[in-house]
């Protein structure tokens, strides 16, 4: 977060988020994408994916740890209800690619070097094995991967004349698997889902349980599975920029059952990105940005902390700028705290429907770090990071730095609460935002618009 002198909030241009055309041409995204590319922009929106009908339900026990609020890092700071001000908003035109593919310690002893001679050239040789990469926690990456791999699966989906590939995480011994909704979208209707466990070459059939196109999360179940190893949820609310992470996934669908492993750090937190195809899109809040390599096929796979606990679901990667330049090392993952809030409805077999309503704000959940840094008077709610020009929020007078604590009669504890309420409404609906601006409690009437086309 920048410490540079703040701008006058009354003079701040809050309409800095550009719109970038979506495209379905792989050449404008990533040249290695094996099929029609899913792309996205940082702040443009069209209609969401079609709702799906759940097939069955599940009540399996989930192994995980509840997330508690802690520090976070954002690059877009509030300007009205704050003590300090932020840097300018992240306004670079950027396209994102949803990343579903379409079809011990260091070695302690070094052996004495030997030498051989071939054609008059002497070559020094050693017989010791290469040393493993080690995370700041002291955990070697090979050991961490060996611990988590049995709980990671490759996913292959066929339907509607297409074949999609992605990754999933086993969260129950009975075979419940979390993945991205866009990974399994082709299976809706009469499609099929096949999973391959890590270390295996044999696919197993799976059934669709619940879907959430709004948040791009889905739940499937491996048919006839029992006594499977499961992942452990970490605390995504405790992440800080610079924390070490490891991504695992079926990158490019190269070989089912042999996931790719990459390493990196948390580059930033609280990102708002819009991702989708040329016909539909979805806006995702509070995304984790990482420089760990994420590629098509990684969708639905785990982003791990240095203890091997899941702190995010790999979902999207930046593709190209509007001028055609390629971006590098910018990937996004859905925080596990968001996923945990969706599990109850997913397990019940529910399907979330998005009617296309749009407030016109970018928001982030309140954290202790934000509260302390900007002197907020409340510890929960959704902080308005920016207001988009020409939207209902802009017309109603919502300002950057407002804290949304309620919508109509519903209490807002986080950004996820705002998304849940708005996604169930239709364009033209009128809502009352209850916000805190400095020491003032305000009620603002907002008429919801339609998610703008790119």
State the catalytic residues. 182, 216, 299
Residue 355 near residue 427, CB atoms below 8 Å = yes
Residue 323: enclosing H or E segment and its boundaries?
Answer: none
∠ CA 420-422-427, nearest 5°, is 150
Q: Which 8-state DSSP code applies to residue 172?
A: S
Q: What are phi and psi of 307, to 5 degrees?
A: -100, -5
Within a 13 Å sphere around the CA of 383, how many CA atoms are in the beta-carbon half?
A: 31
Residue 394 near residue 433, CB atoms below 8 Å = no
Residue 298 near residue 179, CB atoms below 8 Å = no
Residue 274 near residue 282, CB atoms below 8 Å = yes
Residue 348: count of CB within 10 angstroms of its CB? 14
∠ CA 188-193-199, nearest 5°, is 155
């Amino acid at each position: 977060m920048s410490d540079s002198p703040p701008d006058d909030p009354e003079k701040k241009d809050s309409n800095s988020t550009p719109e970038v055309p979506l495209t379905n041409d792989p050449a404008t995204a990533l040249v290695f994408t094996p099929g029609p590319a899913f792309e996205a922009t940082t702040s443009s929106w069209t209609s969401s994916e079609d709702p799906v009908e759940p097939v069955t339900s599940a009540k399996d026990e989930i192994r995980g740890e509840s997330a508690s609020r802690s520090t976070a890092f954002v690059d877009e700071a509030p300007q009205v209800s704050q003590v300090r001000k932020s840097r300018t908003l992240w306004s670079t035109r950027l396209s994102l690619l949803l990343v579903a593919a379409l079809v011990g310690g260091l070695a302690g002893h070094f052996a004495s070097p030997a030498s051989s001679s071939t054609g008059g050239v002497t070559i020094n040789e050693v017989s010791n094995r290469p040393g493993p990469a080690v995370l700041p926690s002291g955990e070697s990456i090979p050991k961490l991967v060996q611990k988590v791999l049995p709980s990671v699966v490759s996913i292959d989906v066929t339907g509607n004349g297409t074949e999609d590939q992605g990754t999933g995480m086993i969260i129950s011994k009975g075979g419940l698997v979390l993945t991205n909704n866009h990974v399994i979208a082709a299976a809706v209707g009469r499609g099929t889902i096949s999973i391959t466990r890590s270390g295996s070459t044999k696919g197993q059939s799976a059934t669709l349980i619940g879907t959430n196109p709004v948040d791009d999360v889905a739940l499937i179940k491996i048919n006839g599975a029992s006594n499977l190893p499961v992942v452990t949820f970490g605390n995504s609310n405790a992440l800080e920029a610079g924390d070490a992470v490891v991504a695992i996934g079926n990158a490019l669908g190269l070989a089912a059952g042999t996931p790719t492993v990459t390493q990196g750090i948390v580059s930033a937190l609280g990102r708002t990105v819009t991702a989708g195809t040329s016909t539909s899109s979805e806006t995702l809040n509070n995304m984790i940005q990482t420089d760990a390599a994420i590629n098509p096929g990684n969708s639905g796979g785990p982003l791990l902390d240095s203890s091997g606990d899941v702190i995010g679901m790999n979902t999207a990667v930046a593709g190209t700028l509007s001028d055609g330049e390629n971006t590098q090392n910018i990937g996004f993952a859905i925080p596990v705290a968001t996923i945990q809030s969706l599990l109850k409805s997913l397990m019940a077999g529910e399907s979330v429907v998005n009617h296309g309503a749009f407030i016109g704000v970018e928001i982030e959940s309140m954290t202790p770090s934000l509260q302390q840094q900007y002197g907020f008077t409340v510890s929960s709610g959704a902080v308005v990071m920016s207001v988009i020009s020409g939207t209902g929020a802009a017309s109603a007078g919502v300002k950057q730095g407002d804290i949304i604590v309620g919508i109509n009669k519903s209490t807002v504890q986080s950004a996820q609460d705002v998304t849940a309420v708005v996604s169930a409404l239709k364009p033209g609906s009128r809502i009352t935002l209850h916000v805190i601006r400095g020491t003032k409690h305000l009620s603002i009437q907002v008429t919801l618009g339609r998610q703008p086309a790119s």
